[in-house]
Amino acid sequence: MSMPTDPVANLAALIRCPSVTPAEGGALTTLEAMVRPLGFSVERPMFSDDGTPDVENLYARLSGNGPHLMFAGHTDVVPVGDEAAWTHPPFGAEIADGFLFGRGAVDMKGGIACFVAAVARHIETTGRPAGSISLLITGDEEGPAINGTTRLLDWAAAKGETWDAALVGEPTNPDALGDMIKIGRRGSVSGTVTVHGRQGHVAYPHLADNPVRGIVMLAEALMNPAFDEGSDDFQPTNLEVTTIDVGNAAGNVIPARATLTFNVRFNDRWTVETIQAEIHNRLDKAAARLRLRPGRKEPVAYDIHWGVRPSHVFLTRDDRLIGTLTSSVEAVTGRRPGLSTSGGTSDARFIKDFCPVVEFGLVGQTMHMVDERVALADLETLTAIYQRFLADWFSGN
Active-site residue among 76, 179, 268, 359?
76
| Residue (of 257, 256, 254, 258) closest to 202 by Cα position | 254
Q: Residue 105 in contact with residue 372, Cβ under 8 Å?
A: yes
99 and 158 in a common domain: yes
267 and 301 together in one domain: yes
Residue 191 has, within 13 A of its CA and on its CB side, a CA count of 21
- Considering 6, 24, 141, 359, which one is annotated as catalytic? 141
Q: Which of 249, 282, 306 is the last residue of a domain?
A: 306
> Does residue 261 sit in the same domain as residue 376?
no
The CATH number covering residue 361 comes to: 3.40.630.10
- Together in a domain, 54 and 181: yes
- In a domain, residue 106? The reply is yes
Ligand-binding annotation for 368, yes or no, is yes
The last residue of one of the domains, among 306, 337, 366, is: 306
- Has residue 368 been placed in a domain? yes
Residue 177 lies in a domain: yes
The span from the CA of 384 to the CA of 362, in Å, is 12
Digit-coded pLDDT (tens) for 312-343: 999 999 999 999 999 999 999 999 999 999 98
Share of the chain above pLDDT 70, in %: 97
pLDDT at 114 over 70: yes
Say which CATH number the domain at 199 has: 3.30.70.360
Say whether 170 counts as a known binding-site residue: yes
Q: What is the pLDDT of residue 177?
A: 96
Q: Examine the fold and report which residue of 253, 278, 306 is the final residue of a domain before the chain moves on.
A: 306
According to the annotation, is 56 in a ligand binding site? Answer: no
**Residue 2 located in a structural domain:** no
In this structure, the answer to whether residues 48 and 156 fall within a common structural domain is yes
Q: What is the pLDDT of residues 236-264, one digit of tens each?
A: 999 999 999 998 888 899 999 999 999 99
Task: Specify whether 191 is located in the same domain as 178.
Answer: no
Do 336 and 292 sit in the same domain of this protein?
Answer: no
Q: Which domain holds residue 47?
A: 7-185+313-395
Clarify whether residues 154 and 212 are in a common domain. Answer: no
**Is the predicted pLDDT of residue 22 greater than 90, yes or no?**
yes
Q: Identify the three-state secondary structure at position 235.
A: coil
Check: CB of residue 18 under 8 Å from CB of residue 91.
yes
Tally of domains in the chain: 2
How would DSSP label each residue in 281-292? HHHHHHHHH--S
83 and 166 together in one domain: yes
Mean pLDDT over each residue of the chain, to the nearest integer: 94
Please check whether residues 300 and 330 belong to one and the same domain.
no
* 68 labeled binding residue: no
- Residue 142 counted as an annotated binding residue: yes
pLDDT of 397 above 70? no
382/385 Cα distance (integer angstroms): 5
Sequence-separated (6 or more) residues with CB below 8 Å from residue 15? 91, 92, 93, 100, 102, 103, 104, 105, 109
76 is catalytic: yes
CA distance 171 to 362: 4
What are 141-197's pLDDT values in tens digits?
Answer: 998 889 999 999 999 999 999 999 999 999 999 999 999 999 999 999 999 999 998
Is residue 1 in a domain?
A: no
Looking at the domain assignment, is residue 287 inside a domain?
yes
The verdict on 36 and 102 lying in the same domain is: yes
Are 296 and 343 contained in the same domain?
no
pLDDT of 299 reads 73
